[in-house]
Amino acid sequence: MMLSKIIHLTVFWCWWIFLIYWTFSALKVKQTAECQPPLANLAYRVPLLSGGILLWLPTERETMKMALTPQTDLVRVLGAALCVLGLLVTLWARRVLADNWSSSVTLKQGHELIQSGPYRYARHLIYTGLVLMCLATALASEELHCRLGCVFLFAGFWIKLSQEDSLLLRHFPNDYPYYRARVKALIPFVL
């Protein structure tokens, strides 16, 4: 019982640390130079919102509470460790992006193409960290709705990173194609 509580608190505090850091770091960003139309944002925001609801909100529907895998202490500990790792990845990646970051698909005034630090390993490492945190949250729970939430969240992040790739290709036509060919999008050396 004590281990289960520690694991749930670890996952809980990882998400709170993430939200607090994101809220305060969002105050120091460059002005927006170009943004997508609001309807284009819906393409990724709808799956992200749906995934978040499925992942974090409890349900009373028995079919959605069904366990897909055996829930052992090892699985829960692995989930908590992945959540901490995902948090560290997001914080490192966000810090390196600095004032070029945006919550939407936008280009900032004086936008720089960041290829250093963690961005040597993957082009969209904040999403890598968030996917790890979502998977970890789903591992810490045995319920089907959490696993489905991860699928929706992954789809939303993939749509968003595809839109960001298109924007960056337009604005960095000489550098971004080479960077894109050399560095994977989400999982270093794999995807």
C-alpha closest to that of 75 among 149, 166, 11: 11
d(CA 188, CA 94): 17
pTM over 0.75: yes
> What CATH number does residue 174 fall under?
1.20.120.1630
Q: What is the pLDDT of residue 68?
A: 63
d(CA 143, CA 165): 34
Burial (CB < 10 A; 0-12, 13-18, 19+), residue 174, is: exposed
Residue 106's beta-bridge partner residues? 35
Burial (CB < 10 A; 0-12, 13-18, 19+), residue 65, is: middle
For 65, the token pair is 């509470």
Residue 124 lies in a domain: yes
The residues of the chain scoring below 50 in pLDDT are: none
Query: What DSSP character marks residue 57?
Result: S
Residue 31 lies in a domain: no
d(CA 73, CA 186): 28
50 sits in which H/E element: helix 38-56
Q: How many domains does the chain have?
A: 1
Domain carrying residue 50: 45-182
Residue 101 lies in a domain: yes
d(CA 74, CA 3): 10
d(CA 80, CA 148): 19
d(CA 92, CA 98): 10
Q: What is the pLDDT of residue 64?
A: 55
Q: What is the pLDDT of residue 128?
A: 95
Q: What is the pLDDT of residue 3?
A: 81
Residue 9 lies in a domain: no
